[in-house]
Chain A
Amino acid sequence: MAQPPTSASLATPSSPHAHGGGSVGAVMGTVIVALIPITVFSVYLFGWPALFLYLVTLAAGLATEAVALRLMDRPVRAHLMDGSAAVTSLLLALSLPASAPWWIGVLGAVFAIGVGKQLYGGLGANPFNPAMISRVMLLISFPKELSTWPVVAPLFSGGALSFSEGLRVTFLGDKTPALGMDAASAATPLGHLKTELTLNHTVGEILAEGYNHTQALFGTLSGSAGETSALLILLGGLYMWRRGVINWRIPGAMIGTTALLALIFNVYDPDAFPGPVFHIMNGSLLIGAFFIATDMVTSPTTPRGQLLFGAGCGALVYIIRTWGGYPEGVSFAVVLMNACVPLIDHYTRPRVFGKERAGGPPVGDES
């Protein structure tokens, strides 16, 4: 045996000396894996333009992150490897119409990472969900590009776009191939419903033509990639829950609140208000509940706070969808609730073991 080791050779940090093995990279990696099915499926549905848009957005996001880190004198490699910029870019890309031109993706990614995240101090410091604040910016600045939805034209099917047609859509802004022969935009079910309701049609009439829940479940209806298949989003959510990356509180409270409000109003007047199943299956409520609102940085850390936050998001989604100017409101709802997070965290602190909730006299004092 060697000489007894001395202080120079032994590590002597303070306890604990054990770690569970989790890492930021593992968390973000899990989110990315959970997003793969929906990403692949949307590329299948919308063809080459979707793939090009995702790649462009991802590249722009990572480049912005690298530049910002370099400017801030932070280790570029370590932070790029944490995967947070990739998650943000991918979520942003999935929230865009697949036929959007390349510069929408680039602008969105630069804004999301540069302004939404790094200007606030980088990883962990941003108050708003970077992907959603960027999408809100794009939606307000470029309403036409953000609400022109391509028709579903699955790869390898008759109506599919060729590789070169795809390049033209994404990089030359040529809409004709993506929008079909008559160059008319497809409507998302939520958008269609909103327009038709203003024309005094009843919910029953509107949904009778060209909509059924099965399509919504499997995702063969138009919309952003993240709006399509309810099933695949559920699958991704389940995976993240199994891996301990998300818990049920935010998604449960968010979906539950929207569904409850939908139920109440549907019972009140079924002609003017669609039911809970329609609200859950359509639009980005599910991807919002599982992937967006659960963003750790911008959601509360307390159990009660997470319930409150989810419920707030769900209520705002329903309010914006029903009475707002836009057919869908997940991005607005999440960003608005992000702003409330510090307050929510402050007022929902757990009761400390051995203390009253108010932090006052200890419990059991009288016994």
Chain B
Amino acid sequence: MVEKIGTILQGLFNGGIHPTEHKEATAEEAIRPLPVPEVLHVPLSQHIGNPAQAVVQEGDRVRKGDMIGKPEGFVSVPVHAPTSGTVTAVGDYPAPHPSGLSGPTVTIAADGADEWTDLTPRPDYEQLNPAEVRALIRQAGIVGLGGAGFPSFIKLNPGPERPIDTVILNGGESEPYLTCDDRLMRERAEEILQGAGVITYTVGARRVVVAIEANKPQAIAAMREAAEDSPQIEVVAVENRYPMGAEKQLVYSVTGREVPSGRLPADVGVVNQNVGTAQAIYRAVVHGEPLIERVLTASGAALAEPANLTVRLGTPIEAVAEACGGYRDLGRLIMGGPLVGSALHSTTPPVVKETNGLIFQTSGEVSQQPALPCIRCGACVDACPVDLMPNEMYNLARNREFERIQDYDLFDCIECGCCTFVCPSHLPLVHYYRFAKNEIQAKEREKEKADIARRRTEARDARLQREKEEKEAKRRAKKKAADKGEEGGSDAREEAARKAAEKRRAQREGKGGKPAATESTSQETPTESAPDQE
């Protein structure tokens, strides 16, 4: 059944691509909870920013929702126990990261009781001020669930100089395979809109726009039905084009406002949140539940039974695969969507807050095409949603022309992957841009270090010079005092001056045996000996 979706808002950004959706495998799979595994490995870094600091030790008993890691610094959020049980280890465990490296992780053996900690629901959150609501959102460990993992409380704090009039709920989900946001909108539209209410209250906006790609008619219908009695909430169908879900592209398409380069949507009066994040914010504020689970899509040709699942954070990916009937001929495992997600080394790492999808691809799906030279076809220029010149940037990166590549606005690249997707020569273009960015950033860090060293040397030289001058000035003052003392100064001063004068005389005589004839004309007294005086 296809419901009427009305006008489709055309994406205003240029370029973009239409990858094969692969969504049919899970679009009709209702979200089902994955049983809590016996052992959970909860990484302390599940967000952009500083990792949380463990506040539990081996042997501690925790209840579901207890804080096990406290935020460290400003850009950081706490991490909570996903179930009740016993902490069996606080140490390193393989992280869901392309590097395959391990990160600090709290391992919890579940006790099966799944008992909540004491929660403080705030359905009356409008009694609190926005800063207090933000604090609740931070305490609940909420980060962007669209895959970026940026702490939400920061996004919800644009500051008084950036008034927000519109909150956009991002239901774009333009990445292939992923259907978790689609299902969430169909099944929990009410909670998402409640979350939108919390967000608008926090940022002081009046208008909410729920933007959903036109290929999700049921989600659009469900959200429209839920928003029926809320005139401030508008549910719009946006054109089906990747990367519609990219923040600035979506803001532009929905509001016509172009977020300036290097700035945030808040600079044009917009706050953007993923629909999943909105739902999590609702659970966190109104029910007091910290973020301990998320909805994800497990899909891909290598997986027996693709599904949409609610998974406790810290559940090993292997356990997710088992719940989906297992996999065979696995060639690539992608966390997130195939365009911006990360390929993982194994199924050992756990599900984290950023895990919106787990794509199990067969070895046959891993591209074996060798790269050919660029034929300047310009497909990448046409596909770039930021209107960059990917072909030129590729050449410059290859030739390590890091100065010129910045003239080509390298740092405006959002690494969406459209250029690589369309490249007939199968060049790993985005890879080159990452390389160039890393090189430039490394150089800048080096330069910064060198600058610091230079500034230190200069400061030291200046300090030595200043000390020299101060001593000289002191010496002169003493001498003056001594000269005065002869006319009737204090005994002590006279004594000191005399001693100093004697010392100098002795030195001079020692050096050249010259008579102390110039002693009184101390203006020209050479300063070489000044440091030796004390």
A residues contacting B by CB (< 8 A) are: 1, 4-7, 9-20, 22-24, 26-27, 75, 78-79, 82, 84, 122-125, 247, 296-303, 306, 345, 349-355, 359, 362-365, 367
Question: Inside 8 A of B423's CB, which chain A residues have their CB?
Answer: 19, 22
B residues contacting A by CB (< 8 A) are: 13-14, 17, 19-20, 98, 100, 176, 248-249, 252, 257-263, 267-268, 318, 321-322, 326-327, 330-334, 338-348, 359, 361, 363, 366-367, 369-370, 372-379, 381-382, 385-389, 391-392, 407-409, 412, 415-417, 420-426, 428, 430-431, 434
Q: Are B260 and A296 in contact (CB under 8 A)?
A: no
Q: Are A13 and B428 in contact (CB under 8 A)?
A: yes
Which of B334, B347, B373, B376 lies in contact with A17, CB distance below 8 A? Answer: B334
Question: Inside 8 A of B267's CB, which chain A residues have their CB?
Answer: 364
Per the bound structure, the CA–CA distance linking A351 and B387 in Å amounts to: 7
Which of A1, A4, A22 lies in contact with B346, CB distance below 8 A? Answer: A4
A22-B422 contact in complex given A1-B326, A11-B332, C-beta closer than 8 Å = yes
Q: Are B375 and A124 in contact (CB under 8 A)?
A: yes
11 contacts between A and B (CB under 8 A): A1-B322, A4-B347, A10-B343, A12-B343, A15-B339, A22-B424, A124-B376, A354-B259, A354-B261, A355-B412, A365-B260
Q: Are B386 and A10 in contact (CB under 8 A)?
A: no
Q: Are B330 and A5 in contact (CB under 8 A)?
A: yes
Nearest-neighbor residue (CB-CB) of B418 within chain A:
A16
Q: Are A1 and B342 in contact (CB under 8 A)?
A: no
Per the bound structure, the CA–CA distance linking A125 and B434 in Å amounts to: 24
Q: Are B330 and A10 in contact (CB under 8 A)?
A: yes
Per the bound structure, the CA–CA distance linking A159 and B379 in Å amounts to: 48
Sorted nearest first, the 9 A-B pairs with minimum C-beta distance are A362-B260, A16-B417, A301-B378, A354-B261, A124-B373, A7-B345, A350-B387, A296-B377, A18-B338
Nearest-neighbor residue (CB-CB) of A123 within chain B:
B373
A4-B318 contact in complex given A10-B346, A14-B431, A24-B425, C-beta closer than 8 Å = yes
Nearest-neighbor residue (CB-CB) of B373 within chain A:
A124
Question: Inside 8 A of B332's CB, which chain A residues have their CB?
Answer: 10-12, 17
CB distance from A60 to the nearest CB of B (A): 22
Which of A5, A362, A367 lies in contact with B261, CB distance below 8 A? Answer: A362
Question: Inside 8 A of B257's CB, which chain A residues have their CB?
Answer: 364
A14-B378 contact in complex given A7-B100, A19-B420, A301-B389, C-beta closer than 8 Å = no
Nearest-neighbor residue (CB-CB) of A82 within chain B:
B372
Nearest-neighbor residue (CB-CB) of B100 within chain A:
A7
CB distance from A222 to the nearest CB of B (A): 34
Nearest-neighbor residue (CB-CB) of B325 within chain A:
A1
Per the bound structure, the CA–CA distance linking A82 and B407 in Å amounts to: 33
Q: Are B258 and A364 in contact (CB under 8 A)?
A: yes
CB distance from B321 to the nearest CB of A (A): 8
A352-B339 contact in complex given A12-B345, A78-B370, C-beta closer than 8 Å = no
A10-B345 contact in complex given A15-B417, A15-B430, A352-B386, C-beta closer than 8 Å = yes
CB distance from B521 to the nearest CB of A (A): 61
Which of B338, B343, B345 lies in contact with A6, CB distance below 8 A? Answer: B345
Per the bound structure, the CA–CA distance linking A12 and B334 in Å amounts to: 9
Question: Inside 8 A of B339's CB, which chain A residues have their CB?
Answer: 15-18
Which of B261, B318, B334 lies in contact with A355, CB distance below 8 A? Answer: B261
Q: Are A296 and B378 in contact (CB under 8 A)?
A: yes
Question: Inside 8 A of A1's CB, which chain B residues have their CB?
Answer: 321-322, 326-327
A23-B434 contact in complex given A1-B322, A351-B387, C-beta closer than 8 Å = no
Question: Inside 8 A of A78's CB, which chain B residues have their CB?
Answer: 370, 372
Question: Inside 8 A of A306's CB, which chain B residues have their CB?
Answer: 378
Question: Inside 8 A of A296's CB, which chain B residues have their CB?
Answer: 375-378
CB distance from A357 to the nearest CB of B (A): 10
Which of B20, B98, B176, B372 lies in contact with A24, CB distance below 8 A? Answer: B372
CB distance from A324 to the nearest CB of B (A): 29
